[in-house]
Amino acid sequence: MTHQVHAFEPPERFVAGTVGAPGERTFFLQARGGGRLVSVALEKVQVSLLAEKLEELLTEAQRRFGVQLPEAVTSVGDNDPLDTPVDEEFRVGTLGLAFDVDTATVVIEAIAAGEAETEVELGGDEDEDDEDDDEDDDDLDRLRVRLTPEATREFIERARRVVNAGRPPCPLCGQPLDPAGHLCPRHNGYHR
């Protein structure tokens, strides 16, 4: 079975974005460069975890390798919508992160969900215990992006804003509030 590796090293643009109304949004990672546009779908929790783990990766790279990091971004420079057409290449099952010391860049790899995958994963570069999974991943499509620390910080800030732009959480239980309210478990199932 053939697979495609969509490599952007570096991309002209790499962002997280959504399509749809809050509560019905589909999340995407989108990379553009060299006349190509690749969009991959993923879950909201994956976008949130990706931003969190990228921040941890940058901090660890600074601590271990003395990498100079830019100041935390307070505003997103790229606040434009996703480029069109937004055609889903594949749905992400696993995310991998690495820091390339030689080039001082962050490598993000989004690997397509396999047929047997049933849960959302966030894979790192250090917990590779099962060799059978590695062989299966070789047959899956993937998106590989290489970013500078500055571009990584911008991606993190935009990803966090995209995740937080959805439905507001219930102040009691933390679940998303629909425009019509929701059945809050803290109120024993009464509408809130």
Q: Where residue 166 falls among pLDDT bands split at 50, 70, 90? A: confident
Strands 13-19 and 26-33: antiparallel
What is the distance of C-alpha 28 from the center of its chain? 8
- Whether 184 maps to a domain, the answer reads no
CATH code: domain of residue 25? 3.30.2450
Are 112 and 140 spatial neighbours (Cβ–Cβ below 8 Å)? yes
Are 28 and 88 spatial neighbours (Cβ–Cβ below 8 Å)? yes
The mean per-residue pLDDT over the stretch 29-43 comes to 97
- Whether 116 maps to a domain, the answer reads yes
Integer Cα distance of 186 and 180 in angstroms = 17
- Whether 190 maps to a domain, the answer reads no
With pLDDT > 90 as the criterion, what percentage of the chain qualifies?
A: 60
Instruction: Provide the domain count of the chain.
Output: 1
- Whether 70 maps to a domain, the answer reads yes
Give residue 112's domain range.
Answer: 5-165
**Which DSSP state fits 39?**
E
List pLDDT tens digits, range 102-155.
999 999 999 999 865 444 445 444 444 444 444 455 789 999 999 999 999 999
- Whether 115 maps to a domain, the answer reads yes
CB atoms within 10 A of CB 99: 20
Scanning the chain, the segments in alpha helix (DSSP H) are 44-65, 131-137, 149-164
- Whether 188 maps to a domain, the answer reads no
Return the closest-CA partner of residue 123 out of 134, 139, 135, 132: 134
- Whether 142 maps to a domain, the answer reads yes
